[in-house]
Amino acid sequence: MDFQSCVNIQKEWDIVGARQLGRDISRKIGFGTVDQARIATAISELARNIYLYAGTGKVCFETLEDMNKKGIRIVAMDEGPGIQDISQVMEDGFTTSGGLGAGLPGVKRLMDEFDIISHVGEGTEIKVVKWLR
C-alpha cells in the first residue's frame, strides 16, 4: 500500500492531529462536510483505541482512485495486546473503556468498507474505506 501520510499515535493530542489530517485529505478528494465529519469521527475512534489499548501505533491515509470512483482508505495499526474476541468488540454498546464513543461498530457504520485483523500479543490492524458518492 502506498500511504500518503501517517500520524503516529503516542499521546492524546495525536488523535486531534490524525483527525485533522484525515479531514483535510477527505476535503481535497471532494467529500462534502457531512462525509468529512463521518470520516473524522471514524478516525477519532480508531486513534483513540490505539491510544487507550495499545499505547502507540499509527493511522495512515491513502487516496484511492479507480476508473470511476475516488475514496479514502484509513489504516489504523498498532502492536498492542490485540483483540481477544473480535465478534464481541463488534457488538453495539460493547465498551471496555466506559466511553461514549460509537466504538468499532460505529466506525463500521460510518464507513463503506471495514476490515479488522488482530492477533493477541501482536497487535491490530483496521482498514476502512469511504467512497465518494
Task: Please state, as a whole number, how many other Cβ atoms lie within 10 Å of the Cβ of residue 37.
Answer: 14
Residue 101 has pLDDT above 80, yes or no: no
Give the pLDDT of residue 92.
80
For 53, residues 6+ apart whose C-beta sits below 8 A from its C-beta are: 78, 80, 81, 96
pLDDT band at 41 (very low <50, low <70, confident <90, very high): very high
Quote the pTM value.
Answer: 0.92
DSSP state of 80: S
For 32, residues 6+ apart whose C-beta sits below 8 A from its C-beta are: none
Give the pLDDT of residue 38.
96
Average pLDDT across the chain, whole number? 92
Give the pLDDT of residue 40.
96
In tens, the pLDDT along 104-131 reads 999 999 999 999 999 999 999 999 999 9
In tens, the pLDDT along 47-88 reads 999 999 999 999 999 999 988 899 999 999 999 999 988 998
Domains of the chain: 5-131 (3.30.565.10)
Give the pLDDT of residue 31.
98
Residue 23 has pLDDT above 70, yes or no: yes
Give the pLDDT of residue 60.
97
Contact 18, 60 (CB under 8 A): no
Give CA–CA dist 132/67, Å, rounded. 13
